[in-house]
Amino acid sequence: MNHQTHAFHMVNPSPWPLTGALSALLITSGLTMWFHFNSMTLMLLGLLACIMTMYQWWRDIVREGTYQGHHTPTVQKGLRYGMVLFIISEVFFFAGFFWAFYHSSLAPTPELGGYWPPAGINPLNPTEVPLLNTAILLASGVSITWAHHSLMEGHRKHVIQSLLTTIILGIYFTLLQASEYFEAPFTISDGIYGSTFFVATGFHGLHVIIGSTFLTVCLIRQLLFHFTSKHHFGFEAAAWYWHFVDVVWLFLYVSIYWWGS
Amino acid sequence: MLGVEAQKPPKGKWTTAPFDPRFPNQNQTRNCYQNFLDYHRCVKAMNRRGKSAQPCEYYFREYRSLCPISWVQRWNQQIQDGTFAGKI
């Protein structure tokens, strides 16, 4: 009978890296078709392929870890490294947009009137909806910590309640931010102010949606009894990601909404 | 030689723009723009108080020597059209 004499997981051959790469090709070329030739078909095909890849790839990881027991402590350590490195790469991603914002706002050009916010821009009041959004994300950070402790203590009902609270707060944030986007007196094409504002907050909003989705998957897995009090890395990864999203918002709020007004 | 007279500099004291420690670096855009703004603000303030705008001459000469003429023309046109972005 064959058995491995090491703690690592030699993954079975999988088609999902290939379909993921193909979806990337379709999305990028699809963007070109959309921008220049007025057709969304290729891009939608690519997005569909991407979503299917993500669903099936992560489903397989859950099968390998939870159902087949391949996630030894050593394997889990590798997954932790992976998640940490990914989040670090996301930090650098946002650092670029903050650099762009500060580059333009610390030395406003004569075209803007030499001051920030530029001529003609009425920024959003930071003490209104943006402050509420800050409170929402901070509260969601508290609720997810509650969820984690409940999970470690084996308190199933509390895990479900607190995880649900976190997700609802995330959705509330998204809805409020969407309404702000709709009601804002300036658009993305309103000079460098519009560009820096909407690209930075827009990517943040996308990350909130991604984080909320990740948390929802965790909720479903919790309902299906996947997590134990000792082994629940999927949840921890989601929690790390959620805290990262919260921290990015705090930087956005202080820099763009508050100082930038 | 088009006449010796024409090649002599015009009479009067001509100095270049002095060093302004507010703008120590190579890029002097802000120096030009700030003096342009200051001249117009000075003129506006003096006119509001009914005084002569003579002291504002300094800013005028500063921005005239520092700024590219095309910028000055563009900004003056914007002021006329009411589209100038600066606060004067």
Q: Tens digit of pLDDT per residue, chain A (261 long)?
A: 678 999 999 999 999 999 999 999 999 999 999 999 999 999 999 999 999 999 999 999 999 999 999 999 999 999 999 999 999 999 999 999 999 999 999 999 999 999 999 999 999 999 999 999 999 999 999 999 999 999 999 999 999 999 999 999 999 999 999 999 999 999 999 999 999 999 999 999 999 999 999 999 999 999 999 999 999 999 999 999 999 999 999 999 999 999 999
CB distance B85–A118 less than 8 Å? Answer: yes
Q: How far apart are CA A44 and CA A22, in angstroms?
A: 13
Across the range B54-74, mean pLDDT stands at 94
Cα-to-chain-centroid distance, residue B18: 13
Kindly give, in sequence order, each residue whose CB lies less than 8 Å from that of residue A18, ignoring residues fewer than 6 positions away: none
Which residue ranges form the domains of chain B, and what is each CATH number? 28-81 (1.10.10.140)
Cβ atoms of A118 and A192 within 8 Å: the answer is yes
The answer to whether the CB atoms of B85 and A110 lie below 8 A apart is yes
The per-residue pLDDT for B12 is 74
- A160, two tokens: 């479900």
Please indicate whether, in this complex, the C-beta atoms of B86 and A120 are within 8 angstroms of each other: no
- Classified by CATH at the fold level, domain A1-69 comes out as Helix Hairpins (1.10.287)
Task: Select from B29, B71, B85 the Cβ nearest to the Cβ of A113.
Answer: B85
Asked if A114 is an interface residue toward chain B (Cβ–Cβ < 8 A), one would say yes
Q: Give the model's pLDDT for residue B15.
A: 80
Q: Is the pLDDT of residue B1 over 60?
A: no
- Each domain of chain A, given as residue ranges in start order, spans 1-69, 71-255
State which fold the A71-255 domain adopts: Four Helix Bundle (Hemerythrin (Met), subunit A) (1.20.120)
Measured CA to CA, the distance from residue A236 to residue A9 in angstroms comes to 20
CB within 8 Å: A119 and B85? yes
Closest residue by Cα to residue A69 from A226, A236, A229 = A226
Residues in chain A: 261
d(CA B80, CA B84): 8
pLDDT tens digit sequence for A54-85? 999 999 999 999 999 999 999 999 999 999 99
User: What integer pLDDT is reported at residue B14 of this predicted model?
Assistant: 73
